[in-house]
Amino acid sequence: MSLKSEILKELDAHRGEYLSGESLSNSLGVTRQAVWKAIKKLTNEGYLIDSVTNRGYMLDGKCDLLSSAIIADRTGASVYCFDEVCSTNTAAMQKLCLGEECIVVANRQTMGRTKNGDSFISPEQKGVYMSVAIKCSIPLDRTDFILAECSKKIAGILCDCCGNMPEIRNGNELFINGKKACGILIDGEVNLSAKILKSIIIGVGVYTAHVAPELGYITALEPRNKLICDIYSAVKEIIK
């Protein structure tokens, strides 16, 4: 992992606190000049980092950029973070075909879809768009149960984020104040002769900002990275 990613992990783990350049250089085994250069790269990428003489560096609590380094550190999973993809489920399937379990996240989807094949609007910086790809051996008749459990778990996570328990409709859609705020989609690789899922991809789209009058959203109290990690942990608990 790059020095830049290591420093970002440290700053994220101590949000609201200043970390001195000396403490960062000592803990990471690099010079203070190297720390300063890495901080400069992070700020150029859009991370809001406050720098105060004799106090050090602090990641702004309002900073909400997606980070594969932060997500990977918290989950232990392989993480792919894209600025734009056609669909996180499609990207996750490509990785899974290469034998890799992973989390795929994106700032924007151009061809996000719902369970019925309709378009799932996925504008930039307006939500969490993620997919979890897992190898498994699950009877096909358990897919509805898995979808229902994912919906319940994710509803609880969103309630913790915004203080408002979503209503579950159609088994995979979560509504806030009567408006759809989240959709869940299951894809996978099927062994028809054995009637099992050989792999499963669970895609989740959550709006965290206003997108359209007919759509709802959660007002997340935590960064999107944490929301992604919480959803991943819930999905892994179900698919075990």
Residue 58 φ/ψ, nearest 5 degrees: -140, 130
Can you tell me the distance from the alpha carbon of 143 to that of 229, in angstroms, rounded to the nearest whole number? 22
- C-beta of residue 70 within 8 angstroms of C-beta of residue 32: no
For domain 3-59, say whether CATH 1.10.10.10 is its number: yes
CATH topology of domain 68-238: BirA Bifunctional Protein; domain 2 (3.30.930)
Question: Residue 128: which of 13, 45, 46, 226 has the closest Cα?
Answer: 226
pLDDT for residue 163: 84
Can you tell me the distance from the alpha carbon of 116 to that of 35, in angstroms, rounded to the nearest whole number? 49
pLDDT for residue 63: 82
- C-beta of residue 132 within 8 angstroms of C-beta of residue 232: yes
Average pLDDT over residues 155-180: 93
What single DSSP character describes residue 209?
A: S
Q: Where are the domains of the chain?
A: 3-59, 68-238
pLDDT for residue 49: 92
